[in-house]
Amino acid sequence: MPVFQVVIQQTWFNDFITNVYHVNELTIADAVGVGHQVALQHQKAITAWSRINAMRVSSPAPDDGVFATIPLNLVGTRPGTGEAMPPFNRIMVSFQVAYTYKCRKFITAMVEGDSSSGEVVASVLTDLQTNYINPLLALGSLCNPDGVLFTGGAAEKSVAMRQLRRKKKRVTPVI
C-alpha cells in the first residue's frame, strides 16, 4: 500500500508548528479519513492554548502535485493548570516500529501543571496514553515513512527541550 503523509498544522500563540504522520492507505480519500481521526486525537493531546488550523494529506510520489488541504478549527482539549510554558518545552512521544528506529512526535502546548522538576507528571502521561497514543495505534494504519506499521507507543517522562528553528539572522559586516 502507498504511504501518505499527513501534516497537522497547529498554532501556539504566534508560533506555527507541524506534526507529520504517515498513514498506510490505498487511496488519498482513505488517507484523508484517517487524517481526520489523527487530527481529532492530536486535539486531545494539546491544551486549549493551542489550535489545529489545517491538515494536509499528500501523495507518496515526489513532485506529483497530488494533495488535499483541509481547513480545521480545533482547539486543544487536554486539561491543564497554570501558565503556558515556553514552546521549546515539549512532551516527546515515541512510537515503536517492528524492526527499525522509533518514530517520535513532539506535543507542544505544555502548561506549568504538566511538569515538575523537569519531568512530565504521571497524570499527563496517563492521559496521553489513554486519549492519544492508544487511539492512534488502534487506527491500524499509522506507520513510519517506509510503511512499517507502529506496534506500540509511550510518552517519555522527561520534558523534551527541543530547540525551535529560527530565521536566518542578518549578518552585520564588521568595519
Q: Please report, for the chain, the start and end positions of each structural domain, with discontinuous segments joined by +.
A: 3-161
Look at residue 146 in the predicted model and tell me its pLDDT.
Answer: 87
- The per-residue pLDDT string of the chain (175 residues; one tens digit each, 9 = 90 and over) reads 689 999 999 988 888 888 999 999 999 999 999 999 999 999 999 888 889 999 999 987 777 888 899 999 999 888 877 888 877 888 889 999 877 778 888 888 788 888 888 888 898 899 999 999 999 999 999 998 888 899 999 998 888 776 655 555 556 655 5
What the block records as the C-alpha cell of 128 is: 496521553
CA distance 99 to 141: 17
The letter for the amino acid at 50 is S
- Are 110 and 160 in contact by the 8 Å Cβ rule? The answer is no
Nearest partner of 21 among 52, 65, 64, judged by Cα: 52
* Nearby residues of 31 by Cβ (< 8 Å), 6 or more positions away: 4, 6, 23, 25, 57
CA distance 13 to 109: 9
Whose cell is 499527513? That residue is: 6
CA distance 151 to 110: 26
Look at residue 167 in the predicted model and tell me its pLDDT.
Answer: 56
